[in-house]
Chain A
């Protein structure tokens, strides 16, 4: 079974700060998803990546397959970025996705 570790579990930062959320896993995968869940509960897929780096607006996701590690970065953070960010793994011997426990991010104005 693939073990997924997200860090930090909780993060509070000031508006404008550069944010990094990490995800490590134990077994090789075919893809990694970053999901965002707002306080209202809805889940949005931010990125799906299997190698390298992807960028969308102020969000950047990177993955290092050899090191079994991915990071999600937020530049110029804003209070509306406050949410739970979840790393989810595809493949690695399991059907469906294997989810991390999430990082609770609060951006204070």
Chain B
């Protein structure tokens, strides 16, 4: 298996632009997580899905952030409009049916820079 695939690897955009991050989880994994990593706050959970359904989005910073999982093999995280403080590395991870008590498999992350 190719593992969790994220795209793009790097994204540089101007403040106010829309940004879309993409994730393909490992086939057969029922849980998908979006995390954000910054120097100040470390890793933070933004949202997670179980069987394509959002379960907890309390970590999403504000209404500018939205995430979707239209099918079992694809998820997006969208920021509209983007702001400089959104600059971070965004990780997608997936795991098997038991979710939090299963090993997590991380993608390589998307490094977002908003100028």
Q: Which A residues contact B (CB, under 8 angstroms)? A: 30-31, 33, 35, 41-45, 48, 50, 86, 88, 90-91, 95-97, 99-102
Contact = CB atoms under 8 A, between A and B. Distances in A.
Q: What is the interface of chain B mostly: helix, strand, loop, or mixed?
A: strand
Interface residues of B, number: 23
Contacts of B51: none
A101 B39 CA distance: 9
A45 B33 CA distance: 14
Nearest to B43: A99
Interface of B: 33, 42-45, 48, 55-56, 58-59, 89, 91, 93, 100-106, 108-109, 111
B101 A86 contact: no
A100 to B, nearest CB: 8
B108 A41 contact: yes
B91 A43 contact: yes
